[in-house]
Amino acid sequence: MASRMFLVEAALREECLERRRNRRRLRSQLNITKIYDLEFVGNYRLSRELFEALCQEIIPLLPPKARRHAIEPTVKILTALNFYARASSSILSESTQALQAGRRARATLVQLLEGYR
């Protein structure tokens, strides 16, 4: 029983280490210079030059890295920008859908009222 628990714990530790290695490898593969300008603007909703200026202003305000393999500040900023870019586009999409639904409801009401005349 104890040996089974030990094996399970060892497997869980190994799985956790493997996830950490994969995350670190994926982070290191993110090379901002290899992203085309149009793709960069499409993903983050601002130009590369504006991103670099933003980084120069924000990075000094961030706490220093506590670990050797901590996430780079530029990756943190890119992640936030990507989140905001996607959230703003989904909000626009939702408001557009609501506006269209309102127009359809109005058209339906107009048709119903015309039927009663």
pLDDT tens digits, residue range 46-99? 898 999 999 999 999 988 888 877 888 888 888 888 888 887 556 556 656 666
My answer on whether 110 and 65 are in the same domain is yes
Q: Are residues 24 and 49 in the same domain?
A: no
Of 53, 50, 76, the C-alpha closest to 63 is: 76
Residues 18 and 67 in one domain: no
36 and 23 inside one domain = no
The single-letter code of the amino acid at 36 is: Y
How many angstroms separate the Cα of 108 from the Cα of each of 52, 102, 117?
Answer: 51, 10, 15
Shared domain check, 74 and 21 = no
Are residue 107 and residue 90 in the same domain, yes or no? yes
Domain match, 51 and 103 both: yes
Please give the share of the chain, as a percent, with pLDDT higher than 90: 10
Nearest to 20, CA basis, from 63, 68, 73: 68
1 and 14 both lie in a single domain? yes
| Contact in structure between 62 and 76 (CB atoms under 8 Å) | yes
Structural domain containing residue 6? 1-30
